Amino acid sequence: MDDELVLRKIANSVILTMYEIPELDHLQVEQLHEIPLGFLRKDATRLHAVCRYRKGIAKSQISGPKDVRCVDIHPVALEHEFRLYAAFLLYHEFIHALGFTGHDRNFRRLEALWPNTTATKMGEMFGLHLRRKRFKWLWRCPQCSKEYPRNRRGNGRYRCRECRVVLIDVPAES
Ligand SMILES: [Zn+2]
Ligand SMILES: [Zn+2]
């Protein structure tokens, strides 16, 4: 199955789940199906997903999915181990699409209604996964296991910021 299709399937299941959330009852959830879905660049590391609004509309005037140009998600989130997280990312962006443009308290209250609480905690792990993929080496602290992703070997010249122990080189793909 190609990536667009996988993404659309995940989005459909997210929207179905949203129908079951009473707090979203009064919102235009069914219109979320109309939003074009796409992907961020593969080498993006900071951004995991984004809701892009149509140009020329002030944020304060965004009222729902019809004001949304597209929702893009990181392609790596479609890897099997991160699909639960992909669903949560879409849920997050769909709340933006429903007219909640900022991350204020109201947004966070709706975001917290996502039923899969494993997925909601996967952001940090996903970020680490992206950095690991991007770099060739991990300088690992043998004491606290903290990893410093780098493109070159450290060759024993660097120390852990916390423990001051000499870092060891580990290939990033291992
Ligand atoms: Zn957001
Ligand atoms: Zn350490």
Q: Note the pLDDT tens digit of each residue in 119-141.
A: 989 999 999 888 878 888 999 99
57 vs 1, 60, 98, 112, 127, CA distance in Å?
A: 36, 8, 14, 27, 31
Give the closest ligand to the alpha carbon of residue 141.
2
**Side chain identity at 56, as an amino acid letter?**
G
pLDDT at 1 over 80: no
Measured at the alpha carbon of residue 89, what is the angle toward residues 53 and 174, in degrees to the nearest 5? Answer: 130
pLDDT for 174: 52
Give the closest ligand to the alpha carbon of residue 164.
2
- Cα-to-centroid distance, 135 and ligand 1 (Å): 26
- Cα-to-centroid distance, 154 and ligand 1 (Å): 36
Domain residue extents for the chain: 3-126, 135-171
pLDDT at 78 over 90: yes
Q: Which two tokens stand for residue 91?
A: 């849920």
Given the candidates 3.90.1150.10, 3.30.2010.10, 3.10.20.30, 1.10.357.10, the CATH classification of the domain at 3-126 is: 3.30.2010.10
Give the closest ligand to the alpha carbon of residue 93.
1
